[in-house]
Amino acid sequence: MTELEVAASYLAAQAHDVGHPGTNNQYQIAAKTPFGTKYGEHATLETYSADLGQELLEQCHVLSNVPAQDRSILLSAFRSTILGTDMAQHQATCSALQRLPANFYTYNYPLKQPRLTNGDSFPTTHALSLPALLVHAADISGPSRTNVAIWLKRSLAVTREFVHQGDRERENCLPVTASFDRRVLQPEGLEGFQRREIEFTSLVVLPYYLDLERVWNAIRPLRVAIETNLREWRQLDKTNVTNLWIGIFA
């Protein structure tokens, strides 16, 4: 990557969820929140975080010493990288990656190809920049952490946030997302939690890392870590994890 893209990657990683209210894009639209009303149904919170992130960069004079032309390039990469973390376009991004030649980002980067869409005329080309691909990988990187205990801690925190949204959906008389519903999750218990984590990792996270590794092989160590953690996940101390799991619903 260019120096500007590297800088944009670090800044976007810091800002990609800035201002996040703890409920997802689907909720913003269904509940007609100010975010949903202002930003619409495509990359709702990602667009908000990009706006707020840029505002904070300006307020804190982070880019004040960057020449105007370079600042424009950096901010464009910053915004597109944050938009690339929208999970709604995850499958479209994977499909596009699968159509690229092997080691594409080693030999043929930057991207030089027609704009791609996910079938709804919503462009996904911005998600195929290397900064966007890497920050999206980081955004779903829980299973790639250095050991399974760190992955577990993160997964429990994310589940707590999901349950919070499920509670908000019920309070607002909205359909409750099954995977966020405490009335579904609590009876499933620890086994359900472990199964959901394994399914998401095996069906969503690992395939993405494999697709990305084919076109940019430097991601390989993290893909290996995911496979290692998947094996070790099944060997976690069930008593300890059960106590942590129960704490989510306190």
87 has a pLDDT exceeding 70: yes
Query: What's the confidence (pLDDT) of residue 68?
Result: 94
Across 97-106, 153-162, 231-240, least confident range: 231-240
Q: What is the pLDDT of residue 40?
A: 93
Confidence of residue 121 (pLDDT cuts 50, 70, 90): very low
Q: State the maximum Cα–Cα separation within the chain, in Å, rounded to a whole number.
A: 57
Alpha helices in 172-215 (DSSP H): 182-200, 206-215
Structure confidence at residue 110 (pLDDT)? 64
pTM: 0.89
Cis peptide before 110 (omega within 30 of 0): yes
3-state secondary structure of 201: helix
Q: What is the DSSP string of 107-158?
A: HSPSP-S---B-SSS-B-GGGGSHHHHHHHHHHT-GGGSSSHHHHHHHHHHH
Residues 169-218 have pLDDT tens digits of 999 999 999 999 999 998 888 888 889 999 999 999 999 999 999 999 99
Q: Which two tokens stand for residue 245?
A: 């799991």
Of 107 and 152, the one with more pLDDT: 152
Q: Which residue has the higher pLDDT, 110 or 235?
A: 235
